């Protein structure tokens, strides 16, 4: 499932993505990938992390995703594609 635009804000200086309800209850394990559509780069990709291709990690706490990707590549107006696993098809977390 993709988190719709408008359901998050980006804070590049603190390297945080804040999720709005109902997505603010997801866990780190539920995030499949985060792709910056504006800059055409993966911020996080769980599949590549397992393969040790990606060195960028994330953590999630209280609806805030902290990422390790270079903050200078981001702007608070960037468009992200955040893919999550809900355990069911098409459901919300």
For residue 43, being part of any structural domain is answered with yes
pLDDT tens sequence across 2-25: 999 999 999 988 999 999 999 999
Structural domain span for residue 42 = 2-84
Whether pLDDT at 78 is above 80: yes
Residues 6+ apart with CB under 8 A from 9: 17, 18, 76
Query: Any idea which of 1-10, 41-50, 63-72 has the lowest mean pLDDT?
Result: 41-50
For residue 93, being part of any structural domain is answered with no
Verdict on whether the full-model pTM lies above 0.75: yes
**Helical spans, DSSP H, in 1-93:** 46-50
What is the number of domains present in the chain? 1
């Amino acid at each position: 499932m993709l988190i719709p635009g408008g359901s998050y804000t980006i804070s590049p200086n603190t390297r945080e993505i804040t999720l709005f309800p109902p997505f603010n209850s997801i866990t780190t394990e539920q995030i499949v990938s985060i792709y910056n559509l504006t800059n055409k780069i993966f911020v996080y990709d769980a599949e590549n992390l397992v393969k040790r291709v990606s060195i960028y990690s994330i953590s999630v706490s209280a609806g805030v995703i902290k990422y390790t990707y270079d903050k200078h590549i981001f702007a608070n107006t960037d468009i992200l594609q955040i893919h999550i696993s809900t355990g069911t098809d098409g459901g919300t977390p």
